[in-house]
Amino acid sequence: MGFRTGNFCTVWSVEPISDTNTKARISVSRKNKMTGEYETDFSGFVNFVGTAAASKALSLKERDRIKLGDVDVTTRYDKEKKVEYVNYKIFSFEQPDAENNNAAPTPQKKMSVLEEGEQGDGFPF
């Protein structure tokens, strides 16, 4: 599956670069149905780009799982050095584990006046 929107990945390290850029090492794995073992589809350094993504990425710890949102891959070839550079960027992501921990409490049913123990002719006053 590799590096693409909607994939889950594991964070291995996080390093702040600037207010709008955070560098991290991530990997994406999948289970081989034939062997039952996990195989790495993608492993490398990425940049969390933009104020929101970069600051949110600073709270990530080793082995955190994230779901990739908007991502981009760019390449640049340096003729003098004869080297191609590949840049992986993440503009947004979700933390599925954090959603379960920070879930809003379920709203309680509002009780009518009669359910609260009041007796009456159906009027609340």
Question: What is the pTM assigned to this prediction?
Answer: 0.74
What's the average pLDDT block by block, 10 residues per block, for the chain (125 residues)? 91 96 96 92 96 94 96 97 97 81 48 49 53
Calculate the dihedral angle through the C-alpha atoms of 83, 84, 85, 89, rounding to the nearest 10 degrees.
Answer: 180
Cβ neighbours of residue 74 under 8 Å, at least 6 residues apart? 86, 87, 89
Domains of the chain (ranges plus CATH)?
8-31+38-96 (2.40.50.140)
pLDDT at residue 22, rounded to an integer: 97
pLDDT at residue 101, rounded to an integer: 53
Cβ neighbours of residue 63 under 8 Å, at least 6 residues apart? 10, 11, 12
pLDDT at residue 121, rounded to an integer: 55
pLDDT at residue 120, rounded to an integer: 53
